[in-house]
Chains A and B, each alone.
Chain A
Amino acid sequence: MTVSDTAAVRAAVEAVLRGDGEAFSEIVECYERRLFALSLMMTRSPSGADEVTQDAFLRAYTHLDQYDATRSFYPWLATIAVRLAQTWLRRRLQRESREGAALDADTSQVSAVDPLSALIEDERDRRLWQAVAALSSGERTAVYLYYRQEMSVSDAAHALGVTTGTIKTLLFRARRRLRSALAASDYARHQEERS
């Protein structure tokens, strides 16, 4: 499915606006996987992603009258999810600081124990996923929105609440860090194979 909405999604939006709440299931079916993946990439917590995805769909449902039908649906939905995920991350940081836990949750320690990476069979894909997961929150969200979810720079900027210039900078930095991380990983693998 591409970023542009299908006719079914547009019809479902119109039906929900007319009062047919069950038509919303069409939208959920269409976008739940993408939205869950985005939420997971941001929160790096399956339970957090589940919570954010549910809340994002629910907020979209209750505020559907504010959706501009001349624009694509998914960027609007993704914007809601990104804002909710940012709130979720802030809350988690506050909770961790109250409880005295380590504040820096954005480091590579997460990638080492990332449960999703274990589900990826291909070695190269797994290393790429781990490298992306180890990026800062802003970088990996920008990468995921722009590359994996094929959103435009301006849509990604709107979703993150930053300028297009900031998105370009985040993407540039992310690519540089990913190349460096993957090169280091390749070198380490070669060394292992030789020894």
Chain B
Amino acid sequence: VRHPTRWIALGVAMVVVVVGVVLATQVGGDPRADATRSQLVGGAAPSFAVRPLEGGTLTRAELAGRAVIVNFWNSWCAPCHAELPALARFWARHRDDPSVAFVGIVRDDTERAVREYVAAKGIDWTIATDPAAKAALDFGTRGQPETFAITPDGVIAGAQIGPSSVEDLETMLAAARGKRR
């Protein structure tokens, strides 16, 4: 090989260029960007079976035909506390609408703490525990609060990672009803 030093320099230069291009194109991207949005929007909602505090089992099949808002939360979670007034205002608007269902699913909490919190805050929408965190897993939740809107025929129409405002909830409900706001 003639001029080996030149070939070595060329090889090193090529590696430097490749590293530079990769860094330049990737440095602005967040490798965990997909953690800030649900991958399930547009797909079929998981068929959950949760246990309402008042007893029995509630399944997604039982809610078919209604637009469903599912909110994952915990009584110890500060962002969930911050979100609570918006949830209460939203439900006050829709509680008398039989085409809408609102279910709060406890993600990782004790039933006793949840009951005390629900009683203290006067929460009047369905609150259910999630045995073995199955529903939380099937919805691909990464924390709490997370909220999903499901169409009457069982498709996830919208999702909110983190606390929802009344506006967010109304937008998701409209999407679940196939309407744009």
Q: Do A and B come from one complex?
A: no
Residue ranges of A at the interface with B (Cβ–Cβ < 8 Å): none
